[in-house]
Amino acid sequence: MSSNGQTSADDILIHVNDLNKWYGEFHVLKDINLHVKKGEKIIICGPSGSGKSTLIRCMNRLEKYQAGEVLIDGILLDDNVKNLEAVRKEVAMVFQHFNLFPHMTILDNLTLAPRLVNKMPKKDAEEMAMSYLERVKIPQQANKFPGQLSGGQQQRVAIARALCSNPRVMLFDEPTSALDPEMIKEVLDVMVELAEEGTTMICVTHEMGFAKQVADRVIFMDEGRIIEENTPHEFFDNPQNERTQLFLSQILGH
Amino acid sequence: MSNIAIKPPSQSGIVNWMKENLFSNKLNTVISIICIYLVVKFLAGVVDWGILNAVFAADASACKAASDGACWGVISEKYRFIIFGTYPADEQWRPLLAMVWFVGLIICSLLRSFWKLWLLPLWIASLIGLGILMWGGVLGLSYVENTQWGGLPLTLMLAVVGTVAAFPLGILLALGRRSELPLIRVWCVAFIELVRGVPLISVLFMASVMFPLFLPEGVTIDKLLRAQIGIILFTSAYLAEVFRGGLQAVPKGQYEAAAAMGLTYWQTMRVVVMPQALRIVIPPTVNSFISMFKDTSLVLIIGLFDLLATAKVAITDPVWRAFYIEVYIFVAAIYFVFCYSMASYANNLETELRKGEQH
């Protein structure tokens, strides 16, 4: 299935090897090693400023890194534009603030990448977009503008938009953090469904219920390092590291 | 409470409106009465001078006799010269037709239902057609040198060609100024700051007097073209800064979303960023265009006779010299019609675009 021989053997889709990144003098990511198998669901959590968003943003090169390497499906993410183009076709991202294009209808938002990047004919792209809108349960909003939708609806549109480029990996950067509490569930429901369908997902979130439900692995980061990495069962019931225990008591305590 | 109001209590009618807004208390009433008195007094003066006591016939002695009225006769005497300049009198239907065509084309281009791909070839064909009409020399039209062009057609041409050409140039400069490539950035910054840093008069003066000195011997570029290029470059530098403001107002998340879905730089700019940035800067953009429309009058400095210049020449006629006020009012009215149309169109466009999205 995989396009490149060297990674298909062990079915690992994402390699992060000794990744280091600095913002000026500030060392944001320190010696990160992470390997994600095809179909795996990874939840990344940790206190704010721990580098978790920066880590997933390195996986589609919204952020550059200074040392180490990130390979997606065998493609090295470096300054090579060809590689970048190839990776961005395979990796889709859902943002905290949705980042829908406010001047375009929902349908145009969804068909943009298929038409411009994958050169799909308009009619096919619209059919596909409608099928994804049905999957996130808002096909009736297709001709509205983002500003006319609620936050939860906008985030579901953003998920559908990400799916429209047929990605092999979905990155979620705190997808529910900007939502009102009553809208979080509708977005998480869609994400659970995606997880059950076998999509490879890497999700930065503090929704621990969601993590327990779908994660294959939970990763805890602090101060730019991966502190702990375990199955959700072990992670929540038997955290090894002191900082993990503190974080969990704070986040689950209230 | 016994009665629950479903709607806010509303009072309509002009009497109620006046009670609420003009005569709500003593001070307000006094101010309103003073203002109304001043407006009435002013309007009465204008009507007296401009209509009741005015002379409309092109008769200079009658004008002189009517000392407390306007002399519109000077306009009926001179309007052809003011509008068409020194273009040969028998051929003035040509610039007239050209103007009507041109203005029609612009109005079509401004209507959103006409925003189709064939607009571009239509513009190219029209510009060629207008060139033939104005210069002549073919199709049995006599040749008219462009040093004889003047008045309103010249002003319109300088302004519209200036607008149309400066717009894309301004976008490129704005993008260049934000480019990650240092050489492009430095060039754009240098151009913008240099051009913004000098007055338009000196740009025109350089274009007309100094620029030919740098050309190899025997090569000449038409004076009108040089003035036009000067105006385009000058306007584009201002527009670039306006557009840069718009680019900065587009949230970073929009660029990131476009990048994450694999759009190229130009796709991102064309489809995602520019439509949002330009919408934000509609008011200052129109401001620049209005300002540029009026600045075209500075081409007088290099010997081109635009609308304002022909008006000035018209009142050098000793017979009509005394009636310069009327001539300036006439010219001001023409400028106002064009500038106000631009402003209203921009307002409409803004409301129209907002209506679709209902933010």
- Which pLDDT score is estimated for A161? 94
Q: What is the Cα–Cα distance from A104 to A113, expressed in whole angstroms?
A: 13
Grade residue A198 by pLDDT with cuts at 50, 70 and 90.
Answer: confident
Report the run of H or E that residue A222 belongs to, with start and end.
strand A217-222
Q: Is B315 on the interface with A (CB under 8 A)?
A: no
- Tell whether the torsion through CA atoms of B255, B260, B266 and B267 is positive or negative: negative
Dump pLDDT digits (tens) for B121-167: 888 888 888 888 878 777 777 787 777 788 888 888 888 889 889 99
Q: What is the pLDDT of residues B289-344, one digit of tens each?
A: 999 988 888 888 887 888 888 888 888 878 777 788 888 888 899 999 999 998 99
Q: What is the mean pLDDT of residues B5-14?
A: 68
Instruction: B240-243: list long-range contacts, CB under 8 Å, 24+ apart.
Output: B240/B169, B240/B170, B240/B171, B240/B173, B240/B174, B240/B177, B240/B188, B240/B192, B241/B174, B241/B192, B241/B196, B242/B170, B242/B281, B242/B284, B242/B285, B242/B288, B243/B170, B243/B171, B243/B173, B243/B174, B243/B277, B243/B278, B243/B281, B243/B285
Amino acid at the residue A112: L
Query: Which residues does residue A43 pair with via DSSP β-bridges, in sequence order?
Result: A203, A218
Rounded to 10 degrees, what is the CA torsion of B171, B173, B177, B178?
A: 20
Q: Which of A116, A86, A82, A69 is nearest to A3 (CA)?
A: A86
Instruction: With beta carbons under 8 A apart, name residues in chain B contacting A162.
Output: 261
B358: chain A residues, CB-CB within 8 Å: 145, 147-148
- Collect all residues of chain B within an 8 Å Cβ-Cβ radius of residue A148: 357-358
Say what the pLDDT of residue B1 is: 47
DSSP conformation class of A75: E
pLDDT class of B356 with cuts at 50, 70, 90: low
Distance from CA of A185 to the nearest CA of B (A): 24
Task: Give tens-digit pLDDT for A87-113.
Answer: 998 999 999 999 999 999 999 999 999
Per-residue confidence (pLDDT) for residue A9, from 0 to 100: 47
CA distance B182 to B190: 12
Residue A8 binned pLDDT confidence (cut-offs 50, 70, 90):
very low
pLDDT at residue B11, rounded to an integer = 65
Distance CA B294, CA B158 (A): 10
Residue A213 above 60 pLDDT? yes
Categorize the per-residue pLDDT at A23 as very low, low, confident or very high, splitting at 50, 70 and 90.
very high
* Closest CB from A62, A89, A148 relative to B358: A148
For residue A31, pLDDT over 90 is answered with: yes
> In this predicted complex, what is the ipTM?
0.90
Quote the radius of gyration of chain B (alpha carbons, Å): 26
The beta strands (E) that lie in A38-113 are given as: 41-45, 67-72, 75-76, 91-94
> Looking at residue B5, what is its pLDDT?
57
The CA-based angle A76-A72-A62, given to 5 degrees, is 80
**Is the minimum CB–CB distance between B275 and chain A shorter than 8 Å?**
yes
Closest chain B CA to residue A88: B262
Average of pLDDT values for A66-85?
90
Sign of CA dihedral B322, B323, B329, B330: negative
Question: Of B120 and A44, which is predicted with more confidence?
Answer: A44
Cα of A158 to nearest chain B Cα, Å: 10
Query: Is the Cβ of A113 closer than 8 Å to some Cβ of chain B?
Result: yes
Residue A3 has pLDDT above 50, yes or no: no
- Whether B253 sits inside 8 A of A99 (CB atoms) is yes
- In this structure, the strands spanning A67-72 and A91-94 are unpaired
Q: By percentage, how much of chain A surpasses pLDDT 70?
A: 95
Chain B nearest-CA distance from A103, in A, is: 7
pLDDT band at A10 (very low <50, low <70, confident <90, very high): low
User: Tens of pLDDT along B211-239?
Assistant: 777 777 777 777 888 888 889 999 999 99
Q: Span A150-171, mean pLDDT? A: 93
What would the pLDDT profile of A177-193 be if each residue is shown by its tens digit?
Answer: 989 888 999 999 999 99
**Nearest-angstrom CA–CA distance, B45 and B327:** 19
Q: Give the confidence band of B61 by pLDDT, cuts at 50, 70, 90.
A: confident
On the question of pLDDT at A6 being above 50, the answer is: no
Containing H/E element for A226?
strand A225-230
Q: Tell me if B263 and A112 make a contact (CB, 8 A cut-off).
A: yes
pLDDT value of position A11: 83
3-state helix, strand, coil in chain A (%, to 5): 40, 25, 35
Q: B261, B266, B355, B358: best mutation site toward chain A, by most A Cβ within 10 Å? A: B261
- What pLDDT band is residue B9 in, cutting at 50, 70 and 90? low
Q: How confident is the model at residue A225 (pLDDT cuts 50, 70, 90)?
A: very high
Domain B86-358 fold:
MetI-like fold (1.10.3720)
Q: Which of residues 28-47 of A touch B (CB under 8 A)?
A: none
Give the residue-averaged pLDDT of A187-214: 91
- Res B185 pLDDT > 90: yes
When CB atoms are compared, the residue of A85, A95, A99 closest to B262 is A85
What pLDDT digit, counting tens, does each position of B75-100 carry? 877 788 888 887 877 778 888 888 88
Q: Which residue has the higher pLDDT, A9 or B221?
A: B221
Q: How many CA atoms are closer than 13 Å to the CA of B169, on its beta-carbon side? A: 18
User: Which comes out higher in pLDDT, residue A92 or B24?
Assistant: A92
Residue B210: pLDDT over 60: yes
Model confidence at B358, in pLDDT bands (50, 70, 90)? low
> Using an 8 Å Cβ cutoff, are A28 and A46 in contact?
no
Set of chain B residues whose Cβ sits within 8 Å of the Cβ of A147: 357-359
**Of residues B254, B262, B359, nearest to A101 (C-beta):** B254
**Overall average pLDDT of the A34-61 stretch:** 92
Give the residue from chain A lying closest to B353, CA to CA: A103
Check residue B128 and give its pLDDT. 85
3-state secondary structure of A157: helix
> How far B201 CA lies from chain A's nearest CA (Å)?
40
For residue A36, the cross-strand partners are: A14
Structure tokens at A204: 């930065």
Instruction: Please check the confidence at residue B60 and state whether its pLDDT lies above 80.
Output: no
Q: Smallest CA–CA separation between B233 and chain A, in Å?
A: 31
What letter would DSSP give residue A139?
Answer: G
Work out how many CB contacts closer than 8 A connect A with B: 61
Return all residues near A159 (Cβ < 8 A) that are at least 6 apart. Answer: A94, A136, A175, A187, A190, A191, A194
Instruction: Measure in Å the smallest separation between the Cα of A118 and chain B Cα atoms.
Output: 9
Please report the pLDDT score of residue A7 as a whole number. Answer: 44
B278 vs chain A: nearest CA distance in angstroms?
A: 12
Nearest CA among B306, B309, B302, B241 for reference residue B277: B241
Whether chain A has a CB inside 8 Å of the CB on B263: the answer is yes
Residue A55 scores a pLDDT above 90? yes
Long-range contacts of B146-150 (CB under 8 A, 24+ apart): B146/B222, B146/B224, B147/B223, B147/B224, B148/B85, B148/B86, B148/B87, B148/B88, B149/B85, B149/B87, B149/B95, B149/B224, B150/B84, B150/B85, B150/B86, B150/B87, B150/B304, B150/B305, B150/B306, B150/B309, B150/B310
